[in-house]
A and B are shown apart, each in its own frame.
Chain A
Amino acid sequence: KNQVEQSPQSLIILEGKNCTLQCNYTVSPFSNLRWYKQDTGRGPVSLTIMTFSENTKSNGRYTATLDADTKQSSLHITASQLSDSASYICVVRKDSSYKLIFGSGTRLLVRP
């Protein structure tokens, strides 16, 4: 069964601290994996995409990793800011299909 599991479900950290969010998937065949950020009351917005051949990619304070062998991805946030408070959603696209499989997200709260 094609699934995307994210952990933890929720996370609270202090401003300035780092954190890592996890995404495990069983989607096959795999095409790519994308991380989205969803602010409260808004629609998701893409942060970064990881393809099969990529191991690490950075977008400012966000660094995504992908291990296609173990089917795991992580999103590392460095020096967190209050504006990082949001839900982070992992989405995997199945190859040769329009089908996207969404994880249920990790809700991050950054406290001052």
Chain B
Amino acid sequence: NAGVTQTPKFQVLKTGQSMTLQCAQDMNHEYMSWYRQDPGMGLRLIHYSVGAGITDQGEVPNGYNVSRSTTEDFPLRLLSAAPSQTSVYFCASSNLAGVDTGELFFGEGSRLTVL
């Protein structure tokens, strides 16, 4: 019953540091995505992937990199952390039919603070 697993749940970084948020799913979903959630705003798409080796940018991709070497894993890399990247990050996955209906399965979230 793992579903979508994100690590770490909490992280504090200093400005300029780099780190990777991990996301893994065990549902054999083709589609995986990263969102950030900020107070008073809707979830915003950072990057997404429709299969291994295929990634694309969402609406707020600057400062983030992704890769998809396997179906299961979709890590999000912060290259040089900035205070504006303080947020809660969610990984979400779906099969392609589920994407058509807008149904995503979300992880528990990773709360990142950049000082």
> Are the chains A and B members of one assembly?
yes
User: Which residues of A approach B to under 8 Å, CB–CB?
Assistant: 4, 9, 31-34, 41-46, 49, 89, 91-93, 98-105
CB-based nearest B residue for A90: B42
User: Which residues of B approach A to under 8 Å, CB–CB?
Assistant: 4, 31, 40-45, 48, 50, 90, 92, 99-104, 106-109
> Which A residues touch B40, using CB under 8 A?
9, 104
8 residue pairs from A and B, CB less than 8 Å apart: A43-B108, A46-B104, A93-B100, A93-B102, A98-B48, A102-B44, A104-B41, A104-B42
> Which A residues touch B100, using CB under 8 A?
31, 93
Can you name 13 extra interface pairs (CB under 8 A) apart from A89-B42, A102-B42?
A31-B102, A32-B101, A41-B108, A42-B109, A43-B4, A43-B92, A45-B106, A46-B104, A49-B103, A92-B102, A98-B48, A100-B104, A105-B42
The 10 A-B residue pairs with the shortest CB-CB distance, nearest first, are A43-B106, A102-B42, A93-B102, A102-B43, A34-B102, A104-B42, A44-B106, A46-B103, A103-B42, A43-B107
Interface of chain A: mostly helix, strand, loop or mixed = strand
